[in-house]
Amino acid sequence: MAKKTILDFQNMIRLGEKIVYLTAYDYLTAKMQEKAGVDMILVGDSLGMVALGYDTTFPVTMNDMIRHCQAVRRGAPATFVIGDMPYMSYQISDETAIENAGKLIKEAGADCVKLEGGGPRILDRIRAINEAGILVMGHIGLTPQFMGQIGGYKAQGKTAQAAMILIRQAKLLEEAGACSILVEGVPAAVGKAITERAGIPILGIGAGSFTHGQLLIYADMVGFYDNFTPKFVKKYAQVGDILTTAFREYAQEVREGTFPLNAEHTYKMPEEEIQELNKLLTDDNQS
Ligand code: KIV
């Protein structure tokens, strides 16, 4: 199947077709997601927690993002891939933002980049990246890179005033040239109001059912990442339990000597070669 482009996503929203969006950080997961028909893959800076074991996304570097985007691209060559811009890769200036966005496209093989925030500085970055010819997705609401200012991983837009700020930010991001916006951690009414007013695809994660598409962090929805599970996650599998059971059984069988079985799990050697080997070993011992 041909890779979907931003034009396909615009068409999907016109036709009322939902866009399916998941995160991935490695080759194998991306390969399975492409096989499953996922429309968009986000190589999120959530890889800091999910793949690298940090407590937050702050330590994630451009090199981390490039390496993981490359792996995802190899696993999903025919899927639209979004590379997340890590903390401090775009905040400082338009020039560094363009340079780093360009690396995600040129070196990492992403189709689009994503950055967080909806304030005036971020609008400038969106405008600059878009003018450099790079597709850029906005991200508003619960924005983990602003965790210090919003006081942790907390739902946003829960008062009418706060909701209006987000609804206006979405419009400004669209006007600045965002090709799409991810809305995270807001009440469904806010996701609905933003979507109804948008001319570009609005993707939601924890933003209710009215957005044009849905994103989940893949490791949450398959029960792989168990440090913390947000309220909006539905678990479609318990992969973590399956893997832990497999690792435990393997450990037990190695310890008790029931794995490997020489009849099943090793390479065969012709009988005459074994005899010859035994002879060589005997000669070797005698010399
Ligand atoms: O990094 C990521 O996976 C994200 C999601 C939390 C939306 O940006």
| Digit-coded pLDDT (tens) for 65-84 | 999 999 999 999 999 999 99
Letter for the amino acid at 224? Answer: F
Over residues 28-46, mean pLDDT: 98
Catalytic residues: 184
Which conformational region is residue 152 in: left (phi greater than 0), alpha (psi within -120 to 50 degrees), or beta? left
Question: What rounded mean pLDDT belongs to the chain?
Answer: 97
Angle at CA of residue 25, ends 19 and 30, nearest 5°: 55
Q: What is the pLDDT of residue 152?
A: 87
Q: pLDDT at residue 137 above 90?
A: yes
Length of the chain: 287
Cβ–ligand 1 contact at 184 (below 6 Å): yes
Taking the model in full, what pTM does it have?
Answer: 0.95
Q: Are 233 and 220 in contact (CB under 8 A)?
A: yes
Ligand 1 atom nearest residue 114's Cα? 8
Q: Is the CB of 116 under 6 A from ligand 1?
A: no
